[in-house]
Amino acid sequence: MLGGSDKHKSLKILVVEDNLLVAETIVQALEDNGYEVVGPAPNLGRGLELASGADLDGALLDVNLGGRFCFPIARVLSDRHVPFMFLTGYDDATIIPPELRETKRLVKPYPCRRSRRRRG
């Protein structure tokens, strides 16, 4: 859950998303809520690099990265005991390997809250 409290200020979240506009939206939402973003990684290779070596507290992984699945990244994170969540447009959970099916998923398109602006 995202929140604006001080306890989130030092949490480092890896973002792996191949769509630049979606990645920027996720990054902005995380930063607006006090998280430090690692990435965003636009592809499997960069995602694996950051998942393997970066200091991380959590990760958001787009399932389909330009036709390649993010599951190798998920396995690295799992081995490192870094919590992660899948971001996906797939309804069918069977696309996810059995050992990763219990992973929480946020289904695209994402719900979006708009802030009310005062008109002056």
The structural domains of the chain, ordered by start, are 7-107 (3.40.50.2300)
Q: Global pTM?
A: 0.83
Per-residue pLDDT of the chain (120 residues; tens, 9 = 90+): 444 555 555 899 999 999 999 999 999 999 999 999 999 999 999 999 999 999 999 999 999 999 999 999 999 999 999 999 999 987 777 889 999 999 999 887 666 655 444 444
Alpha-carbon distance of 110 to 30, in angstroms, equals 14
Report the run of H or E that residue 65 belongs to, with start and end: strand 64-65
Sequence-ordered list of residues with C-beta below 8 angstroms from that of 20, at least 6 positions apart, any chain: 42
Q: How many CB atoms lie within 10 A of CB 37?
A: 17
* Phi and psi at residue 49, to the nearest 5°: -60, -50
Sequence-ordered list of residues with C-beta below 8 angstroms from that of 83, at least 6 positions apart, any chain: 57, 58, 59, 77
C-beta separation of 18 from 66 below 8 A: yes
